[in-house]
Amino acid sequence: MSKDLEETKRGYNLIAKEYHSLRISGKKFHNAIDLSNSDDIVYRDKGYNGTPTRAKGNGTMCRGNLTPHEMLRNKRISKKRNQGEHPFRTIHRAMNGGNTKLTTLYRVFVQQLFVFSAYNIYRLATLTRMQ
């Protein structure tokens, strides 16, 4: 089994364990789970503003009436986050991806393998067109 699949299974098991140990409240479920380690630096968007994290570095973007320092901080965080979000944005907008009806973890893994392979070909074609 590949390392990526093992990491996906580990994350899935952590979510399932947290799900069963928490009482579901009125707030959104994704705000209640923190999968970060104590030595991580976490860059999160404004939706996680009130939720504490176990991570060493808290890179949660600020919201509300911002001071100039907070605006620059948000800009620095968004530059870091954009590098990881670009493939998902392209898959969602240009390739109409993002949803699946598969239920088993292995099938979803294989489907996403093909989706990201298609993204790599799409990105290669875009970059060669730019040169």
> Are the beta carbons of 106 and 4 closer than 8 angstroms?
no
Query: Is residue 123 over pLDDT 80?
Result: yes
DSSP state of 24: P
pLDDT in tens, 80-99: 887 778 888 888 888 888 78
Helix, strand and coil in the chain, % to nearest 5: 60, 5, 35
pTM score of the predicted model:
0.52
| Same domain? 71 vs 104 | no
| Same domain? 68 vs 119 | no
| Same domain? 31 vs 18 | yes
| Same domain? 16 vs 61 | yes
Residue 121's pLDDT is: 93
pLDDT in tens, 2-49: 555 555 555 555 555 555 444 444 445 555 567 777 888 777 777 666
Number of compact structural domains in the chain = 2
* Domain hosting residue 115, numbered range: 100-131
129 contact partners, CB below 8 Å, separation of at least 6: none
| Same domain? 24 vs 82 | yes
| Same domain? 89 vs 104 | no
| Same domain? 118 vs 73 | no
